[in-house]
């Protein structure tokens, strides 16, 4: 491989998307070519800065705005004013009938004025009361292809900023002390969950300032698993897969397998932690014990 074809394939190489034979040829080339090695280093450096430059973007958009647009688009043409044509209006009714119709209209107006505030109050309830569970099915399914894929799937499902390893300790609610011995944090990101259902003042899950976090953890042998942490006001589901309630001393947790990927979820103080891709229940319980300070 020469420098020109190396450059042509630079992206597939650094993104780990090259075929095995191309990747091997590129590895051979870059280990012998100083120019291309510096190109890879420069691109990796730039990639880190691009990732850091991502600010969560705040939204003020509401369903009401969309709903109004949809309603106005589907509304039938306005009928002609009732009094525009005397031939077809109330003026053709007898006086007593006009009184009855007037009375009916008055009752209708009265009812509308009584009911509308209630309807309006209901529709102005915060959206955040609607979502109370997070379905991690797609994330767990992606784990069959590795923790990186699951992490990417989480990024697809939920927006948020990704932080490189240098920023992990500052950003993550997970620390090396909260993980079993030998397990380290590899990568972390904030996760912006859909309309937050936490009671006012109990969290900072608003756009731009979210404390829901996901992290990839590496075992001493290099294998990985995924941790997701958020306020306990959300539950976790795996689609139709049953999560079984279990006990570890006083601590309860839920565990289940989807596509042979073991997932465990437990409460830790006011947060819920979900671990995806655990080896077995023993590892799950070691992790839970470490996080919740429960004796095994």
Q: Do 276 and 139 form a contact (C-beta atoms < 8 A)?
A: yes
Return the number of the residue (157 or 285) whose C-beta is nearest another protein: 157
d(CA 125, CA 118): 11
Question: What are 112's two structure tokens?
Answer: 């509308």
Our finding on whether 241 is near another protein (CB under 8 A) is no
d(CA 133, CA 246): 19
Stretch that binds another protein, among 75-83, 104-112, 148-156, 243-251 (CB under 8 A): 148-156
Q: 51 Cβ partners below 8 Å, 6+ apart?
A: 161, 162, 163, 164
Q: 29 Cβ partners below 8 Å, 6+ apart?
A: 1, 2, 3, 6, 36
d(CA 105, CA 250): 64
- Restricting to residues 72-101, name those near another protein by CB under 8 A: 73
Return the number of the residue (149 or 246) whose C-beta is nearest another protein: 149
Our finding on whether 172 is near another protein (CB under 8 A) is no
Our finding on whether 192 is near another protein (CB under 8 A) is yes
* Farthest-apart Cα atoms in the chain, separation: 102
Return the number of the residue (2 or 114) whose C-beta is nearest another protein: 2
Stretch that binds another protein, among 68-76, 91-99, 168-176, 254-262 (CB under 8 A): 68-76
Phi, psi of 197 (to 5 degrees): -110, 20
Q: Which one among 4, 34, 50, 120 touches another protein, defined by CB under 8 A? A: 50
- Restricting to residues 3-22, name those near another protein by CB under 8 A: 7-12, 15, 17
Q: Do 192 and 157 form a contact (C-beta atoms < 8 A)?
A: no
CB 189 to another protein: min, Å: 8
- Residue for token pair 């300790």: 169
Q: Do 268 and 292 form a contact (C-beta atoms < 8 A)?
A: yes
Stretch that binds another protein, among 102-110, 151-159, 226-234, 261-269 (CB under 8 A): 151-159
Our finding on whether 63 is near another protein (CB under 8 A) is yes
Residues in contact with another protein, counted by CB under 8 A, come to a total of: 56
Our finding on whether 104 is near another protein (CB under 8 A) is no
Return the number of the residue (76 or 81) whose C-beta is nearest another protein: 76
Q: 283 Cβ partners below 8 Å, 6+ apart?
A: 180
Q: Which residues bind another protein (CB under 8 A)?
A: 7-12, 15, 17, 41-43, 45-47, 49-54, 56-61, 63, 65-67, 69-70, 73, 127, 130-131, 134-135, 137-138, 148-149, 151-152, 155-159, 161-162, 192-195, 207
């Amino acid at each position: 491989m020469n420098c020109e074809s190396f450059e042509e394939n630079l992206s597939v190489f650094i993104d780990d998307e090259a075929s095995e034979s191309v990747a091997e040829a590129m590895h051979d080339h870059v280990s012998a070519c100083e120019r291309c090695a510096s190109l890879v280093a420069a691109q990796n450096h730039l990639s880190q800065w691009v990732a850091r430059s991502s600010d969560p973007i705040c939204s003020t958009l509401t369903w009401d705005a969309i709903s109004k647009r949809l309603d106005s688009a589907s509304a039938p043409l306005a009928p002609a004013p009732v009094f525009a044509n005397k031939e077809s209006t109330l003026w053709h009714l007898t006086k007593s009938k006009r009184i009855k119709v007037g009375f009916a209209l008055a009752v209708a107006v009265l009812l509308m004025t009584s009911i509308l505030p209630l309807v309006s109050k209901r529709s102005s309830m915060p959206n955040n009361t609607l979502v109370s569970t997070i379905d991690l099915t797609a994330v767990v399914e992606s784990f069959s292809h590795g923790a990186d894929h699951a992490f990417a799937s989480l990024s697809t499902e939920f927006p948020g900023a990704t932080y490189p390893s240098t920023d992990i300790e500052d950003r993550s609610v997970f620390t090396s002390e909260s993980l079993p011995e030998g397990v380290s944090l590899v990568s972390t990101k904030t996760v912006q969950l859909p309309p937050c259902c936490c009671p006012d003042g109990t969290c900072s899950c608003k756009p731009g300032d979210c404390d829901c976090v996901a992290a990839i953890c590496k075992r001493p042998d290099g294998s990985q698993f995924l941790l997701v942490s958020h306020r306990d006001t959300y539950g976790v589901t795996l689609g139709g897969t049953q999560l079984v309630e279990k006990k570890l001393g006083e601590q309860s947790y839920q565990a289940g397998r989807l596509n042979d990927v073991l997932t465990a979820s437990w409460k830790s103080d006011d947060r819920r932690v979900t671990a995806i891709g655990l080896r077995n229940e023993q590892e799950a319980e070691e992790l839970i014990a470490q996080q919740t300070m429960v004796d095994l």
